[in-house]
Structure 1
Amino acid sequence: MNQRIGYARVSTEDQHLHLQRDALQQAGCSLIYEEAASGKSTVRPELKQCRKALRSGDTLVVWRLDRLGRSLSDLVQIVADLERGGISFESLAEKIETGSAAGKLVFHVFAALAEFERNLIRERTRAGLAAARARGRRGGRKPKLGEAQVKEIRALLRDPEIQVADVARRYGVSRTTLYKHVGVVKPRHP
């Protein structure tokens, strides 16, 4: 019996799979594999399990092309592997299915466009970050330790009886964070 098996992926734990899950269920998927993993990550255990579950005659269904491949070449490789196994591929948003020659052509065109779109987004993000830096703004996480805390820690670590691990615990940070912020590497006591 030929199955329609879905694969849904979000990039971060903050995002939700509801939209993808609903679309895949409406498309008749009897089984849906879901995971939260960056598209760039090579470690995607649910995708691996999904591919193991697929048999000749089955169809792998995704909500959008970029949910499956890390890059255009990765996407093309996955679809080629599926085709070698007699498995069709379908992307709902782009209305692509590789069960026909025309569908295969459309797949390759849309895969290239999806890669192009991701590259544009990446370029815009980099340009935006550069513009923000030029205006004196910094992105990223706030430092774990403030200037006053760094001064206190330096004073504490001057005492040979005080262990770095104890200071790290006291301030709720790792030893590595202390070394990074304070720049002190204290010799270990025997």
Structure 2
Amino acid sequence: MARPKTGDKPNDIRNATVREVAAIGSTAVSVNKIAKRAGLSVGTIYRYHKTKDDLLFWVFLQLKRDIHKTMMDAAGDLQGASLRLRAMWFALIEYGFNAPQDFLLVEMMSAETRPSFLENSELQAIQNEVLGEIQAGIDQRVLVNVPTATIETILASPAITLARRASLSGIQIEKEELDRIYNLIWRGIAQDH
């Protein structure tokens, strides 16, 4: 007689992977360590994922979806590029504070060059949607007319640094400080009128 299926194994695998990568890094992680942390057999993990890289990419993609959804939900029905980009920027920092291990896994994995990451159509679509928000700001003459990737770097780098700081320290950065930082960044990319 087969054992009844219990729990949410994919979620258990995801959570164990996040905790293990946050603890020891993506290169040192092993399927055995993830299985042990999840309380599952190695065979169970391999039923869901062919290789360790498949598993890491699956978790990475799920987290990228979560972060992107959080940012786009924050922009919601806001009108105008300046309001939308501001909401997205603050949402990224908030995500880092609320889900620190998830955020750190995405940061670690983003720093690694993997062809499957660069070639993935869903990741490209996520990237294109963010760049589209920036392009809308250029088209509306709210942002300076430079390549969208330049503005993305100027916006994303401080947000990622602040989110990382909040996630590692467990201390949320004061809203007034975030406002000051964002306003300084905005001055550098806003179109002069």
Normalised-by-shorter TM-score class: under 0.3
**Larger relative contact order (CA 8 Å, sep ≥ 6):** 2
Q: Which has the larger radius of gyration?
A: 1
Higher relative helix content:
2
With normalisation by structure 2, the TM-score equals: 0.25
Higher relative strand content:
1
